[in-house]
Amino acid sequence: MNGIKIRGTGRGVPSKLVTNRDLEKIVDTSDEWITARTGIRTRHHCAEGERISAITAQAARRALEDAGVSPDQIGACLVATATPETLVPSAACALQRDLGLPQDIPCFDLNAACTGFLFALHTMECLLNASPRKFGLVVGAENLSRVINWADRGTCILFGDGAGAAVVECREGWPSISAVLGCHGNSELLYLPGPESEEHGYLSMEGTRVFKFAVEAVPWCVDQVLKKTGRTVEDIDFFVFHQANARIIDLAVRKYHIPPEKYYKNIAEYGNTSAASIPLVLSELREQGKIGPGSRILAVGFGGGLTWGGCLIEFA
Ligand code: ACO
């Protein structure tokens, strides 16, 4: 199978900035507790009337521009999301319309919660191998503020909205991204009922148990990707971890002795944006010139489902 590489990235960030101090007025919490336990200081939420579909389209347009690829060159479009604006049309079909993508290509949404972007990258690699067009659009987008239970201080402080996008290219001879993906069906640790459910449509989480799952899942994914690709930690230019809790990232950094110039945290500004988290990091790193042509990036995600995954992806 031919592999994919990233050609360009982009992001869309909602306008409403919610600080820890703002949350102090809603629930029994404090800026000190949130910062110390999670690393989060602010998060962006969609303001009234602001639509996640518009934020998603903005991220995708910027990624196309960064890649120098036109919409008619796209061979497939995937949106990883657990909180699409509408179930039908899917967020990916809305993008086809809004961006003028070709009509003879597969466009669909995919839900693997916080691991969604990596599930989508792997799926895109398979799709592009079967497509005459060699570019694909992969987006992670979430509107989690819509499913926040504002009476639950254990979760309402964590989540943000946003979208991150990558244009990828598939070429003969390029190595596969060697994705390792997994899941373990569990509705106790993380749960978000469907829109037709009689329960309130809120996200609920057993935070401490998810934390324990995450600190085991992250090194498992790193080890498996290194094993599958025959690489070592030293071969990696940048580690991109899902931004769920700064302490989870710090534990991985310590375990693998990753130097500060090889990893990144933007959780302080965005909070946990689930499927958007990894592409938001990629887009910021790209903009800051920390990754670019030739960079070898090991990305790891974990989250609801439960799901987990990792891959090694290069910049074209
Ligand atoms: N402010 C103040 N106190 C709080 C808050 C808050 N916002 N939230 C909880 N507390 C209290 C608790 O009530 C508890 O008090 P008690 O000891 O008197 O009972 C105490 O703080 C400790 O609570 P814990 O829940 O044990 O706190 P913990 O250190 O585990 O931090 C957190 C909670 C931040 C949620 C952490 O467990 C975490 O990050 N978990 C992982 C989340 C994650 O990775 N999710 C991934 C995917 S999300 C998705 O897929 C959509």
Ligand 1, atom nearest to 247 Cα: 39
What does the pLDDT look like over 57-85, one tens digit per residue? 999 999 999 999 999 999 999 999 999 99
| Confidence grade of residue 200 (pLDDT, cut at 50, 70, 90) | confident
| Confidence grade of residue 288 (pLDDT, cut at 50, 70, 90) | very high
What does the pLDDT look like over 110-148, one tens digit per residue? 999 999 999 999 999 999 999 999 999 999 999 999 999
Angle of helix 207-229 relative to helix 246-255, nearest 10 degrees, comes to 40
207 within 8 A of 34, measured Cβ to Cβ: no
81 in contact with ligand 1, CB cutoff 6 A: no
Confidence check: pLDDT of 53 > 80: yes
**Helix H or strand E segment including 301:** strand 296-303
Q: Does the annotation mark 272 as catalytic?
A: yes
Catalytic residue among 107, 114, 156, 221: 114
Find all residues with CB under 8 Å of 47, minimum gap 6, and list them: 14, 15, 16
- List C-alpha distances in Å: 108 to 25, 47, 137, 159, 184: 39, 26, 11, 24, 23
115 within 8 A of 221, measured Cβ to Cβ: no
38 alpha carbon – ligand 1 mean position (Å): 8
Alpha-carbon distance 169 to 136, whole Å? 6
Q: What pLDDT does 287 receive?
A: 97
Beta partners for 5? 169
Q: What pLDDT does 304 receive?
A: 98
Q: What pLDDT does 195 receive?
A: 73
Q: What pLDDT does 17 receive?
A: 98
Identify the residue whose C-alpha is closest to ligand 1 atom 32.
207
DSSP secondary structure, 171-230, as one string = ETTPPP---EEEE---SSSEE---TT-SS----EE-HHHHHHHHHHHHHHHHHHHHHHHT
Q: Does the annotation mark 122 as catalytic?
A: no
39 in contact with ligand 1, CB cutoff 6 A: no
- Outline where 130-197 has alpha helix (H): 153-156
Identify the residue whose C-alpha is closest to ligand 1 atom 43.
244
Identify the residue whose C-alpha is closest to ligand 1 atom 39.
245
Catalytic residue among 44, 45, 122, 242: 242
Catalytic residue among 44, 77, 272, 311: 272
Identify the residue whose C-alpha is closest to ligand 1 atom 10.
154
Confidence check: pLDDT of 198 > 80: no
Q: Does the annotation mark 46 as catalytic?
A: no
Residue with tokens 């989250």: 303
Mean pLDDT of the chain: 97
244 in contact with ligand 1, CB cutoff 6 A: yes
Tokens of 228: 């599958």
20 in contact with ligand 1, CB cutoff 6 A: no
**Helix H or strand E segment including 251:** helix 246-255
| Confidence grade of residue 201 (pLDDT, cut at 50, 70, 90) | confident
Q: What pLDDT does 275 receive?
A: 98
154 in contact with ligand 1, CB cutoff 6 A: yes
What does the pLDDT look like over 2-16, one tens digit per residue? 999 999 999 999 999
Long-range own/partner contacts, residues 213-216 (CB < 8 A, 24 or more apart): 213/189, 213/302, 213/306, 214/244, 214/245, 214/248, 214/302, 215/248, 215/251
Q: What pLDDT does 125 receive?
A: 98
154 alpha carbon – ligand 1 mean position (Å): 5
Ligand 1, atom nearest to 272 Cα: 48
Tokens of 95: 């993008």
8 within 8 A of 167, measured Cβ to Cβ: yes
Alpha-carbon distance 19 to 167, whole Å? 32
Tokens of 161: 């909205």
